[in-house]
Amino acid sequence: MIDIFSKELIIHLYCLQPNELTGSGSRTAMPDPNERTDIDGIAVSPHHFIGGRRVASDHTFAVRSPLDWNLRLADVSRGTRRTAEMAVAAAVKGFHRWSALKPSERATVLCRLADLIDAHAAEIAAIECLDMAMLHESLQRRLVPRGALNFRNYAELVAGYEERCWSSKGTRNRVVRDPAGPAVIITPWNAPFMLSTWKLAPALAAGNSVILKPAEWSPLSASLLADLANEAGFPEGAFNVVQGLGSEVGADLVSDPRVRRISFTGSPETARHIGVAAAQNIVPFTAELGGKGPLIVFADADIEAAARKAAAQFEDSGQVCLAGTRLLVESSVKSEFMEHFVLYTEQHVYGDSRDPGTTLSAAIHPVHLERVEGFVRRAREAGDRIIFGGQRFEAGKLWYQPTLIEPASNESEVVQKEIFGPVLTLQTFDSEPQAVGLANSTEYGLSGIVYTSDAKRAERMGRAVRAGTVWVNTFLVRDLTAPFGGCGISGIGREGGDYALDFHSDLKTVQILEGSVR
Ligand code: NAD
C-alpha cells in the first residue's frame, strides 16, 4: 500500500528533487577537510569524521535555519557509498582497539566526553537552536546536560557491571557480555544532540565502535560532538560521524554486512527499509519510532495541572515523539478543562527560539510544515472541527499556530496518524473502559499521559494503556535505567539502562564442569 503521507510523495507533489529539497551542490575546488564554517562565531566542521580525522565529500547539501530560511548555515559534505565503506572500514579497525580496553578504561573516556559536553554546552545549544529551532532555554537547561549525563550514566553502568554467576546441573555458569562490533546509529532531526548521545553512550560503553549518521535537516551538533569525542581520546575509528542523506549514505551504512548493530530513531516508514537491510545481514536492530500518545484527564484529577501540561504539548512546535497529542477528557469536566487549557495556550509566545521568552518554536523545514498543513486542510475537508488555530502565524515563515481539532470520529486521520506539529485533538469519554479503548485505538504505542488523583486508577491505567512509557500526573521525567521504546508501529526493542547494554552486546553463557579445573 502506498503511504500517501510519505516524504517521497511530498517531494513529488512539490515537484522537487531530493537535491533541490536539501539544496545540494558540487564543490568547484578540492575540498579542504580541515576547513570550518563560522556559524554565529562558532567554528563548525561541515565534514565527516572518520578514523580520527575529517573527511570531505565532493558533493554537499545545504543546511538552513528554520529561524530564518534565508540563512544558509553551512554546506555539509554529502556522503556516498564510498564514504560509507570508508567509515565502516575505519569502524572495524576502531572496534578492535576500543573493545580491547577494559570497561573501566572505556568508562574513563566516556566520562571525559561528558565533561567536555558540559564545558561546551553553550556552543552546542547555540548551534542546535539555529539548526533546528528548538528552544534555547530547554537545550541549555535540559537537553545538552542530559547528553553529558547519558555518557556518565553508561560509564557508571559498564564499570560497575557484575557478571551473573551461578551453579546448576554440576556446572558453574557465567554470563559474559561480548562487544558486538561496529554499530550504526541513525538519528532523526528533532532533539538530535540528546537523542544521539542516548544511543551512542550504551553502544560505546558496551565496547562497540560507532558510526553516527545524523538527519540531513539538523546535522550540525553531531559535528561538534565528533570534535569533543576526538578530544576525549577515543582510539581512531571508535567514534565516526558520517553526514548525508538517509536514502543514500544512510542506506549504504545499514546494509553493510560488517555492521553488527543498528540503532535507529525516526519514522516507521524508514524503519521498514532499515529492517529489511538488517534482516538481510541478520543484524539486531532497535527502532524508536513515531507516537500518537493520549493525554487522559479524569474528572478526579487536578484539572488545572492537566490543562497546563496539555498546553505545554505545543512547545517545540509539537515536534516531540512522546507528546500527548490526543486529549481525552472526561465529559463532566470538559468545560473546566477547556477554560484552563485555552488560558494556558494563550500564554504561549511564538518567536525566535533564542529569546528566553519564546515558548513556541518554528517548524524544522518548509516541507515538514506543508505536511502539517496538509493534515489540517484534510481535517477541515473531512468535517473535523477546528476549535482554534489552523494556520501559520505569518505567511512565508515557519511558525504554526497551536491548533486544536475536534474530530468527526475516532477514525479521523488527525486522530490516527502522527502529525508531528502543534496540532492536538480533543475527544471526550464517560467511563474508564471507554478512555482505555480510545487510548489504545491507534497503531502507535509510544507513550501515554494520565491525570487522576485516584491511586488505584493510576495503577490500573498504567497497566491498561498500551505504550512503552505511561506517565501519571507528570510528563517527560525519566530514570535513565528504565527501559524505553514503543509498542505497535512505535518501535522494536527497548533502550535505556542495561537493556541497551544487552542489545549492544553478544551475551554469552560460559559453563565449566564443576571440579574439572583447578
Ligand atoms: P526519518 O525516518 O525520515 O529519518 C530519520 C533518520 O533516518 C534520518 O537520519 C534519515 O537521514 C535516515 N534515513 C532515511 N532513510 C533511510 C534509509 N533508507 N536508510 C538509513 N537511514 C535512513 O525521521 P525524521 O523525519 O527525521 O524524524 C521524525 C520521526 O522520528 C517522527 O516519526 C518521530 O516521532 C520519530 N522520533 C521518535 C523518537 C522516539 O524516541 N521514539 C524520538 C524522536 C523522533
Residue 134 has pLDDT above 90, yes or no: yes
Any idea what the CATH number is for the domain that residue 159 is in?
3.40.605.10
Angstrom distance (rounded) from CA 425 to CA 417: 11
| pLDDT greater than 60 at residue 118 | yes
Q: Is residue 336 part of a domain?
A: yes
User: Are residue 386 and residue 261 in the same domain, yes or no?
Assistant: no
Q: Which residues contact 82 (CB under 8 A, 6 or more apart)?
A: none
Mean pLDDT for the stretch of residues 212-218: 98
In a domain, 49, yes or no: no
- Do 115 and 89 belong to one domain? yes
Query: Average pLDDT for residues 209-216, to the nearest whole number?
Result: 98
Question: Residues 308, 473: contact at Cβ < 8 Å?
Answer: no
The cell numbers describing 53, all together, are 580525522
Same domain, 97 and 216: yes
Determine if ligand 1 sits within 6 Å of the CB of residue 256. no
* pLDDT value at residue 70: 87
Q: What is the pLDDT of residues 6-25, one digit of tens each?
A: 333 333 333 333 333 445 67
Q: Does residue 289's CB lie within 6 angstroms of at least one atom of ligand 1?
A: yes
Contact by Cβ (8 Å): 503, 286: yes
Burial 298-333 (b: 16+ CB within 10 A, else e): bbebebeebbbbbbbbbbbbbbbbbbbbbbbbbeeb
DSSP 252-288: HHHT-TT--EEEEES-HHHHHHHHHHHHHTT--EEEE
Q: 387: CA distance to ligand 1 center in Å? A: 30
**How far is the centre of ligand 1, averaged over its atoms, from the C-alpha of 403 (Å)?**
24
Q: Are both 356 and 236 inside the same structural domain? A: no
3-class SS of residue 370? helix
| Residue 190, ligand 1, Cβ within 6 A | yes
pLDDT of residue 24: 63
Together in a domain, 137 and 162: yes
pLDDT tens-digit readout, 156-208: 999 998 899 999 999 999 999 999 999 999 999 999 999 999 999 999 999 99
Q: Is 242 in the pocket of ligand 1 (CB under 6 A)?
A: no
CA dihedral 393, 398, 402, 405 (to 10 degrees): 100
Position 169 scores a pLDDT of 94
- As a whole number, mean pLDDT of residues 481-489 equals 96
Residue 370 and residue 262 share a domain: no
C-alpha closest to that of 239 among 48, 43, 46: 48
pLDDT in tens, 465-474: 999 999 999 9
Identify the pLDDT of residue 18: 36
How much of the chain, in percent, has pLDDT values that exceed 90? 93
Answer yes or no: do 273 and 408 share one domain: no
> What does pTM read for this prediction?
0.93
pLDDT tops 70 at residue 1: no
Nearest protein Cα to ligand 1, atom 26: 188
Query: Of all protein residues, whose CA lies closest to atom 14 belonging to ligand 1?
Result: 246
State what percent of residues in the chain have pLDDT above 70: 95
Write the pLDDT tens digit of every residue in 299-350: 999 999 999 999 999 999 999 999 999 999 999 999 999 999 999 999 999 9
For residue 304, report the distance from its CA to the centre of ligand 1, in Å: 34
Q: Judge whether residue 250 has pLDDT over 90.
A: yes
The reply to whether 205 and 345 lie within a common domain is no
Catalytic residue, from 248, 321, 330, 418: name it. 321
**243/59 Cα distance (integer angstroms):** 11
247 C-beta closer than 6 A to ligand 1:
yes
- Res 353 pLDDT > 60: yes
Q: Is 243 in the pocket of ligand 1 (CB under 6 A)?
A: no
- Determine whether the shortest distance from the Cβ of 501 to ligand 1 is under 6 A: no
**Collapsing DSSP states into helix, strand and coil, what is residue 80?**
coil
CATH number for the domain that contains residue 381: 3.40.309.10
Domain count, the chain: 2
For residues 510 and 178, give the distance between their C-alpha atoms in angstroms, rounded to a whole number.
Answer: 12
Is residue 513 included in any domain, yes or no?
Answer: no
How far apart, in whole angstroms, are the C-alpha atoms of residue 235 and residue 238? 6
Answer yes or no: do 143 and 271 share one domain: yes
pLDDT at 308: 98
Q: Is 129 a catalytic residue?
A: no
Active-site residue 128, yes or no?
Answer: no
Of 211, 249, 270, the residue with max ligand 1 atoms within 8 A of its CB, to mutate for a pocket test, comes to 270
| Claim to verify: residue 409 and residue 277 sit in the same structural domain | no
Cα 4 to ligand 1 centroid, rounded to whole Å: 17
Residues 313 and 279 in one domain: no
State residue 66's pLDDT score.
97
Alpha helices in 135-180 (DSSP H): 136-138, 144-159
Co-location of 265 and 377 in the same domain: no
Amino acid occupying residue 321: C
71 CA → ligand 1 middle, Å: 24
Domain that holds residue 120: 7-15+80-289+491-506
Closest C-alpha among 189, 181, 188 to residue 264 = 188
Distance between Cα 190 and ligand 1 center (Å): 9
